[in-house]
Amino acid sequence: MTKILVIDDERPIRSVLREILENEKFEVDDAENGKVGFDLATKNKYDVILCDIKMPEMDGLEVLEKLQENGIDSPIIMISGHGTIDTAVEALQKGAYDFIQKPLDLNRTLVSIRNAFERSDLVKETKVLKRKIQKGKVTEIIGESDEIIAIKEMIDKVAESDARVFITGGNGTGKELVARQLHEKSNRAKAPFIEVNCAAIPAELIESELFGHEKGAFTSAIKQRQGKFEQAEGGTIFLDEIGDMSLAAQAKVLRALQENKITRVGGDKDIKVNVRVLAATNKNMIKEIADNKFREDLYHRLAVILIHVPSLNDRKDDIPLLANHFLSIICEEQGVAVKSFADDAFEKLKEANWTGNIRELRNIIERLTILCGEEITGEEVVKYANPK
C-alpha cells in the first residue's frame, strides 16, 4: 500500500488530510512537528511526504534540507498558510517537489500527490536502469587460472601503449572484455570506446559504417554522416569479428592504419584520425589468409600484440568464481534474495561441455536462479542446466 507522511503542527489539518487520504486508500502517518516528522521519515519509507513550513522546533525548510542530506528521495510537497512567492521558490530550489498554500484545495492536493507518485516511480525506474547500465559496463575479467592470469598481465603491460592488439578466441569467451580492459587501463580511457561488430553489418554498408559518407553518396544518404573511426577520435575503436570484413573494406582499414587518414564514402577529402585499433575474431586467421579471404598485410598491421582468450572448457577451475559472480549479479537484477551453490553443484557445472563458453554459463546460471531455491544443488544443475 502507498504510504504518505503528513508533518503539520495543526491537528485539524492533520486530521482532515488523514481522512481524505485514507478514503483514497493510502496508508497515512502523521507528525505534530518537524523533529518527529524527520525521525519518522528516516526510519520508514514513504512514497510522498507532505510538510508544513511554519512549525516549532524544526521548520519545514529545515526538515527538507535534513532529509536531502540524509539521502531521503521521497517527493516532498511543502504546505504553508504564510506562503509567499519567495518562500515557494526557496522550497523548490532546495528540492521540494511542489508547494501548496493553505487553506488547502483538496483536489489540487490530490493531483499533486498523484503526480508525485509518478515522479517517484520514474526515479526508481531511472535508478534501476542506471544500475543495469553500470552492470553492462562491468569489464572485470573473472578467473584465477594460469591462462587468465597471463591475459591480465599482458593487458597491464600493453594497455598504456598505443600498440594494436589482435584478440582471438571462440564465441562467448570474453574477447570484448579484454578489449574494454585495454581501453580502460590506457591513456585514452576518458575518450570514446567504439565497438563495431563487423559480422553484423552487411558488406555493402560496412565502409559507410566505418568511414562515414557524404550527402548523396548513395540513394539513402540524405545527409552527411560520421563513421565509427571519426566517432572514436582520441579513443579506441574495437573491430569485433574482423574476419568477416569484406576485402574492399579491409583495404580501406589498411590505409587508415598506415596513414592515420580516412575518406568518407562519396567524398574526396582526407580526414586525419587519432584512434587506437583493437581487433578480434573467432576464426583461424592463418587459414583465412591462405584462402585469400583476409589480407596478410592487414593482419600483420593489426597483430602487433596477440592475445588468445581460452575456451571455458580449457579453464574449468574458474567455473566456481564465474558462477558465483553471475549468481550475485542475476539475483540483484531479478530482485531476489542472494542464493548460493552447494559444493556438488560446482562439480556438475565442471562436468558440462561448455561449447557456448562464458555466455552459455551465464544463461545457465540465470535459469538456475529463476528455477531453484536458496541453495542450488548438483541434482538441480543436472535437471535444469542439461550439461552435455
Structure confidence at residue 2 (pLDDT): 81
Q: Stretch 108-134: mean pLDDT, rounded?
A: 72
Give the single-character DSSP code of 273: -
Instruction: Calculate what percentage of the chain has a pLDDT beyond 70.
Output: 93
Structure confidence at residue 41 (pLDDT): 93
Backbone conformation region of residue 234, classed left if phi is above 0, alpha if psi is from -120 to 50, else beta: left
Listed range (136-140, 207-211, 312-316) with the worst mean pLDDT: 136-140
| pLDDT higher than threshold 60 for residue 127 | no
| pLDDT higher than threshold 80 for residue 213 | yes
- DSSP calls for 302-351: HTTEEEEPPPGGG-GGGHHHHHHHHHHHHHHHHT----EE-HHHHHHHHH
Domain 147-310 belongs to what architecture? Answer: 3-Layer(aba) Sandwich (3.40)
Give the single-character DSSP code of 260: S
Q: Stretch 337-347: mean pLDDT, rounded?
A: 93
Phi, psi of 33 (to 5 degrees): -155, 175
- Hey, which residues does 262 pair with through a beta bridge? 271
Of 118 and 97, which is predicted with more confidence?
Answer: 97
Instruction: Please report which confidence band the pLDDT of residue 132 belongs to, taking 50, 70 and 90 as the band edges.
Output: low
Residues of each domain in the chain carrying CATH 3.40.50.300:
147-310
Residues of each domain in the chain carrying CATH 3.40.50.2300:
3-135
Instruction: Please report which confidence band the pLDDT of residue 306 belongs to, taking 50, 70 and 90 as the band edges.
Output: very high
pLDDT digits (tens, 9 = 90+) for 230-251: 999 999 999 999 999 999 899 9
Listed range (87-91, 188-192, 324-328) with the worst mean pLDDT: 87-91
Average pLDDT, the chain: 89
| pLDDT higher than threshold 90 for residue 225 | no
Task: Give the whole-angstrom CA distance, residue 113 versus residue 48.
Answer: 7
Considering only CA atoms, which of 69, 62, 63, 70 is closest in space to residue 49? 63
| pLDDT higher than threshold 80 for residue 311 | yes
Pairing of strands 276-281, 375-376: unpaired
Task: Give the whole-angstrom CA distance, residue 116 versus residue 74.
Answer: 9
CATH code for the domain defined by 3-135: 3.40.50.2300
Of 72 and 238, which is predicted with more confidence?
Answer: 238
Instruction: Please report which confidence band the pLDDT of residue 202 belongs to, taking 50, 70 and 90 as the band edges.
Output: confident
One of 3.50.50.100, 3.90.580.10, 1.10.8.60, 3.30.365.10 is the CATH number of 313-385, namely 1.10.8.60
Structure confidence at residue 83 (pLDDT): 63
Specify whether the CB–CB gap between 230 and 271 falls below 8 A. yes
Residues of each domain in the chain carrying CATH 1.10.8.60:
313-385
pLDDT digits (tens, 9 = 90+) for 8-51: 999 999 999 999 999 988 999 999 999 999 999 999 989 999 99
| pLDDT higher than threshold 80 for residue 256 | yes
Instruction: Please report which confidence band the pLDDT of residue 278 belongs to, taking 50, 70 and 90 as the band edges.
Output: very high
Instruction: Please report which confidence band the pLDDT of residue 154 belongs to, taking 50, 70 and 90 as the band edges.
Output: very high
Specify whether the CB–CB gap between 81 and 101 falls below 8 A. yes
**This prediction's pTM:** 0.66
